[in-house]
Homo-oligomer: A and B are copies of this chain.
């Protein structure tokens, strides 16, 4: 495991350039090929990747910057990226930033030092510093989950998802609606979903109140208490599954029966939404497929092939038990 190409060469009685050629598929006579092959097997020789990369001045590594490891969306996306990258002979390197902005920027520079050939960026917001870092590092970047005019990106169709959800609950007869969203700093989740939702309601005779809460389930539980105090909606449309779960928990604490007394919907399509009782009506995004697609796109970018500026992923609306017919 600690032999070098020179060792192998001298044991096999050839020049190291010949071994290198053997390794890289250059022309080698059948005879020397066998000799080298044998020596390599015997000594379990594996080339030192650093030396290789130093020469090549690039790697077949794609760095992925991820805000958190413990979310369904993140892990599914990562799995997709990893699987697809493996298919095309690339490796994935993960850098978790724990939702810390500084670390995100740092991660980009670190990846550049490690000479990754491309970076997939899962970020909730793209700031000036991101752009600067990307420019300085001269490395292809694919933004996933958000959109930005200066960057190639891959997004879920949040607007349409919001729209479809609106149509859906309207069809179910709901007219007193609470929409429980998140900060507008998050364009996809905070703005797009809500905008799509609003749009679907245009011209209908319903009444909507908009609320904002945090991403955590506990935040949602607290906010739900407020909502229920001041307003009596027939349904709470939540911007994420997590928030919806918080609403459900808050309701169960208050002995409010879902969906009889109150309907709830989410967005995301997390596995749990099927498990909880009642099963949650939600929009399921295709995270794993998005990951695969992201991998394909970044590799194209690395190879300087053309890709569309924005790749849009589809979704599925699951009509389940948490919404009652009014």
By a CB distance below 8 angstroms, the chain B residues around A114 are 49-50
By a CB distance below 8 angstroms, the chain B residues around A150 are none
Question: Nearest Cβ in chain B — how far from A232, in angstroms?
Answer: 22
By a CB distance below 8 angstroms, the chain B residues around A219 are none
Does A32 make an interface contact (CB < 8 A)?
Answer: no
Does A311 make an interface contact (CB < 8 A)?
Answer: no
Does A249 make an interface contact (CB < 8 A)?
Answer: yes
By a CB distance below 8 angstroms, the chain B residues around A78 are 69, 96
Does A155 make an interface contact (CB < 8 A)?
Answer: no
Segment among A16-24, A160-168, A194-202, A270-278 that sits at the interface with chain B = A270-278
Is A136 a contact partner of B94 (Cβ separation < 8 A)? no
Does A83 make an interface contact (CB < 8 A)?
Answer: yes
Per-position contact with B for A264-286: 1 when CB-CB < 8 Å, else 0?
A: 00000000100111000000000
Interface size on A, residues (CB 8 A): 43
Which residues of A, 54-73, contact B by the 8 Å Cβ criterion?
54, 69-70, 72
| Residues of chain A whose beta carbon lies under 8 Å from any beta carbon of chain B | 1-2, 44, 46-51, 53-54, 69-70, 72, 75-76, 78-79, 82-83, 91, 93-94, 96, 98, 109-110, 112-115, 136-138, 217, 245, 248-249, 252, 272, 275-277
Q: Can you list 17 A-B pairs, Cβ within 8 angstroms, ordered by A?
A: A1-B112, A1-B137, A46-B109, A49-B114, A50-B50, A50-B54, A50-B115, A69-B78, A69-B79, A70-B75, A70-B79, A82-B96, A91-B110, A94-B94, A245-B275, A249-B277, A275-B276
The 8 closest A-B pairs by CB, nearest first: A70-B75, A50-B54, A50-B50, A69-B75, A50-B53, A94-B94, A252-B277, A46-B113
